[in-house]
């Protein structure tokens, strides 16, 4: 087995170039690869799109034996194997989606030593007969993907992962590497302890994804807002997250009825439909997938240009991971969150099922972190990175709605006093809709019957529309100056925090969207959100990629990523040897696809 010292840097770079088509390592990749080659354990926190798979696939190519990759993403394994095979790696997967013959073929290849990579689920790994099989094989290393699933402090704990704690005892000579895209320092320590990693190399790559643009906007009419957002990106693939199955279906139907190729994805669909919809999205046959978070970990598509959360996430970890599905190819992508206070009681309803008081308090803190992120006038990127313990040195990130001036911090003390006064003067026993009617001076029979047309606050806010006052009340609730009761007819009451604002002793601020001229807004969208493709050649190459992917039965990104197509369109190679050095084109892909893409470029040039 080679040690770190025995690995010639030239050989390492040659494998990087010839197998994966990359000229340089991304940050931390070299250190991780060298540690695993030296048979050292590793714990790696690396954001989605940071290049985790290369960290174990490259050692798997250079080491003797088979690398076992433990992953919960059964729906994604075939795509991962197709991508590895497209680079020339001998890869397979073993899970319940295979028929008997497929399982026999894979087990036979494993026993013969014909595999470099084998993807398995944690449930499969825990099976006694599978453990017996592995002990008879030569293992190069064991890679655990989505390792946060082993921690009860993580956002996606899965009991099946607990069996992995015996790995280092069962295979004492095999290096173990744990990978996750999201882990606080507390979760990190818990993972290392539970997996019993032995003096591991610990890597915390930056959580910063500079190509992602983060924005939050008030939720007024979610369906219309989603439609408008998607229509502004006519050829771009994206994911829309909704909380419930019903809202997923309704949103997908709404988009389809208006000409958008949208498909639903949630646990209520049968396995075949979910797989078919995911496959259609991966192959660019659908522009949008509308999904619950069940879809969050099941997508490896590199050219997702936007992620839209139409409902409030439960925690920052989940939100970060879901937004991380955008822009994996490094090109610009847009992450939009629609924030409405009405989502908060719906989330808290789920907390009623949590029996452990400490766990319930933790869930509340996680939710409050999301509310703070959405309602505070501060750099979104700085807040996200700060949550994971990473400082952000720059004063402005230049790639969020706050730092680009699309959201302003305004003094709304007077409006807050009006709303708080309305709550107090109506007896703290009415909901937001009724309070807004009182503030705007609505002439309703109920208001007259209750005598609220005679209070001082009645009609004081008639100069502003109802949506403005609803946002004021939502912000009061988000900043905990008011609290909303549970139940079918929630009412709003004041908290102790309201008193200083009512008395004028403390100012009240809220965020406000900055309305830009339409031309300027279109220009900003083009520069910050969507990569403007080249002069038609990119689209021609994308069509060829789709054609080849359909022939092979694989997602389009397995052939080439958008970044590769952009470089091809920019450099316009007319000979196959000129493909060397283009990002993502290794020897296998050059031999398999090079001639057709070069011919397409020649034809395009001749036609031009």
Q: Are residues 250 and 375 in the same domain?
A: yes
CA 278 to CA 76: how far, in whole Å? 9
List beta partners, residue 509.
Answer: 411
Number of Cβ atoms within 10 Å of the Cβ of 339: 24
Q: 531 lies in a domain?
A: no
Instruction: Identify the CATH number of the domain in which residue 599 sits.
Output: 1.10.150.80
Tell which of 345, 376, 401 closes a domain. 401
**Nearest CA-CA partner of 249 in 260, 259, 263:** 263
In the block, residue with structure tokens 């490896």: 300
Domain of residue 484 covers 410-513
Q: If DSSP codes are grouped into helix, strand and coil, which group holds residue 412?
A: coil
Q: Are residues 397 and 414 in the same domain?
A: no
Q: What is the DSSP string of 331-372?
A: S-EEEEEEE-TTHHHHHHHHHTT---HHHHHHHHHHHHHHHH
On whether the CB atoms of residues 83 and 282 are closer than 8 A, the answer is: no
Q: 386 lies in a domain?
A: yes
Q: Are residues 61 and 124 in the same domain?
A: yes
Number of Cβ atoms within 10 Å of the Cβ of 446: 11
Q: What is the dihedral of CA 86, 75, 59, 1, to 10 degrees?
A: -120
Q: Are residues 318 and 236 in the same domain?
A: yes
Which residues, other chains included, contact 300 with Cβ-Cβ below 8 Å and sequence gap of 6+? 76, 79, 80, 83, 282, 328, 555, 557
CA 236 to CA 238: how far, in whole Å? 6
Longest dimension (CA), the chain: 87
Give residue-wise pLDDT tens across range 19-41. 998 988 988 999 999 999 999 99
Give residue-wise pLDDT tens across range 533-589. 456 899 899 899 989 988 988 888 889 988 899 899 999 999 998 998 898 899 899
CA 180 to CA 158: how far, in whole Å? 14
- The whole-number pLDDT of residue 562 equals 86
What Cα–Cα distance (Å) separates residue 538 from each residue in 332, 529, 554, 566, 581? 16, 18, 20, 6, 18
On whether the CB atoms of residues 438 and 457 are closer than 8 A, the answer is: yes
Q: What is the CA radius of gyration of the chain?
A: 27
In the block, residue with structure tokens 């789709």: 546
* Alpha helix (H) residue ranges in 389-517: 413-425, 432-440, 445-450, 466-478, 498-502
Q: 297 lies in a domain?
A: yes
On whether the CB atoms of residues 426 and 438 are closer than 8 A, the answer is: yes
Q: 532 lies in a domain?
A: no
Residue 485 falls in which region: left (phi positive, over 0), alpha (psi -120 to 50) or beta? beta
- The whole-number pLDDT of residue 525 equals 41
Q: Are residues 266 and 283 in the same domain?
A: yes
Q: Are residues 233 and 134 in the same domain?
A: no
Q: Are residues 147 and 16 in the same domain?
A: yes
- The whole-number pLDDT of residue 607 equals 67
Which segments of the chain have a pLDDT < 70? Answer: 1-6, 154-155, 294-299, 486-488, 515-535, 607-608
CA 286 to CA 199: how far, in whole Å? 46
Cα 227 to its chain centre, rounded Å, is 20
What do you get for the CA distance between the two ends of the chain, in Å? 54
Strand boundaries in 197-271, DSSP class E = 201-204, 212-218, 237-241, 262-265
How many independent structural domains does the chain possess? Answer: 4
Q: Are residues 154 and 257 in the same domain?
A: no
CA 586 to CA 579: how far, in whole Å? 9
CA 533 to CA 517: how far, in whole Å? 24
Q: If DSSP codes are grouped into helix, strand and coil, which group holds residue 420?
A: helix
Q: Are residues 390 and 416 in the same domain?
A: no
Instruction: Identify the CATH number of the domain in which residue 322 sits.
Output: 3.40.50.300
Instruction: Identify the CATH number of the domain in which residue 461 sits.
Output: 1.10.10.10
On whether the CB atoms of residues 297 and 181 are closer than 8 A, the answer is: no
Q: Cα–Cα–Cα angle for 207, 368, 380, nearest 5°?
A: 40
State the sign of the Cα–Cα–Cα–Cα dihedral 497, 502, 506, 511: positive
Number of Cβ atoms within 10 Å of the Cβ of 595: 12
**Nearest CA-CA partner of 366 in 420, 312, 325:** 312
Q: If DSSP codes are grouped into helix, strand and coil, which group holds residue 381?
A: helix
Q: If DSSP codes are grouped into helix, strand and coil, which group holds residue 288?
A: strand
Q: If DSSP codes are grouped into helix, strand and coil, which group holds residue 177?
A: strand
In the block, residue with structure tokens 């890679």: 143
Q: 1 lies in a domain?
A: no
**Separate counts of helices (H) and strands (E) for the chain:** 26, 17
**Nearest CA-CA partner of 410 in 369, 367, 471:** 471
Q: Are residues 565 and 541 in the same domain?
A: yes
CA 482 to CA 344: how far, in whole Å? 13
Q: 328 lies in a domain?
A: yes
Measured in residues, the chain has a length of 608
Q: 354 lies in a domain?
A: yes
SS3 percent helix, strand, coil of the chain, rounded to 5, is 50, 15, 40
Q: 521 lies in a domain?
A: no
- The whole-number pLDDT of residue 126 equals 80
On whether the CB atoms of residues 138 and 65 are closer than 8 A, the answer is: yes
Q: Are residues 542 and 578 in the same domain?
A: yes
Structure tokens belonging to residue 114:
């014909």
Q: Are residues 589 and 549 in the same domain?
A: yes
* pTM of model > 0.85: no
């Amino acid at each position: 087995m080679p040690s770190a010292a025995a690995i010639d840097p030239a050989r390492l770079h040659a494998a990087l170039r010839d197998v994966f088509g990359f000229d340089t390592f991304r940050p931390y990749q070299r250190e991780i690869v060298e540690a695993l080659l030296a048979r050292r354990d590793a714990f790696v926190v690396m954001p989605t799109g940071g290049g985790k798979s290369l960290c174990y696939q490259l050692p798997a190519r250079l080491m003797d034996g088979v690398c076992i990759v433990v992953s919960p993403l059964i729906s994604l394994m075939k795509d991962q194997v197709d991508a590895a095979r497209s680079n020339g790696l001998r890869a397979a997967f073993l899970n319940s989606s295979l028929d008997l013959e497929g399982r026999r073929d894979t087990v036979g290849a494993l026993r013969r030593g014909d595999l470099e990579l084998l993807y398995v689920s944690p449930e499969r790994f825990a099976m006694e007969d599978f453990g017996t099989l592995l002990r008879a094989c030569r293992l190069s290393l064991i890679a655990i993907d989505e390792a946060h699933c082993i921690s009860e402090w993580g956002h996606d704990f899965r009991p099946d992962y607990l069996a992995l704690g015996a790995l280092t005892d069962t295979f004492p000579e095999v290096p173990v590497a744990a990978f996750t895209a999201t882990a606080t320092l507390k979760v990190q320590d818990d993972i290392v302890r539970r997996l019993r990693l032995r003096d591991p190399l610990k890597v915390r790559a930056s959580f910063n994804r500079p190509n992602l643009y983060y924005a939050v906007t008030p939720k007024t009419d979610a369906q219309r807002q989603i439609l408008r957002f998607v229509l502004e990106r006519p050829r771009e693939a994206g994911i829309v997250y909704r909380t419930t199955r019903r809202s997923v279906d309704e949103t997908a139907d709404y988009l389809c009825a208006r000409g958008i190729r949208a498909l639903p994805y949630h646990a209520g669909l049968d396995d075949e439909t979910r797989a078919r919809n995911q496959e259609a999205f991966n192959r660019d046959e659908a522009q949008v997938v509308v999904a619950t978070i069940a879809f969050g970990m099941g997508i490896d598509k590199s050219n997702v240009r936007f992620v839209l959360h139409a409902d409030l996430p439960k925690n920052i970890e989940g939100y970060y991971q879901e937004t991380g599905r955008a822009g994996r190819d490094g090109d610009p992508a847009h992450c939009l969150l629609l924030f409405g206070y009405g989502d908060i009681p719906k989330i808290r309803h789920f907390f009623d099922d949590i029996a452990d008081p400490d766990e319930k308090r933790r869930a509340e803190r996680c939710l409050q972190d999301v509310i703070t992120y959405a309602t505070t006038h501060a750099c979104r990127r700085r807040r996200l990175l700060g949550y994971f313990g990473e400082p952000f040195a720059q004063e402005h990130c230049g790639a969020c709605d706050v730092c680009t001036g699309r959201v302003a911090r305004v003094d709304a003390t007077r409006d807050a006093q009006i709303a708080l006064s309305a709550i107090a003067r109506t007896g703290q026993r009415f909901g937001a809709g009724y309070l807004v009617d009182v503030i705007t001076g609505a002439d309703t029979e109920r208001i007259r019957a209750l005598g609220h047309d005679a209070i001082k606050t009645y009609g004081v806010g008639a100069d502003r529309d109802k949506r403005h006052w609803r946002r004021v009340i939502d912000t009061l609730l988000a900043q905990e100056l008011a609290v909303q009761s549970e139940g079918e007819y929630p009412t709003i009451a004041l908290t102790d925090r309201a008193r200083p604002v009512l008395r004028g002793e403390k100012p009240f601020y809220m965020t406000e969207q900055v309305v830009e001229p339409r031309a300027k807004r279109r220009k900003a969208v083009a520069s910050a959100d969507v990569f403007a493709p080249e002069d038609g050649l990119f689209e021609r190459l994308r069509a060829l990629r789709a054609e080849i992917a359909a022939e092979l039965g694989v997602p389009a990104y397995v052939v080439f990523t958008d970044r590769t197509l952009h470089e091809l369109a920019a450099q316009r190679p007319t000979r196959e040897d000129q493909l060397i050095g283009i990002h993502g084109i290794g020897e296998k892909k050059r031999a398999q696809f090079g001639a057709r893409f070069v011919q397409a470029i020649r034809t395009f040039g001749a036609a031009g």
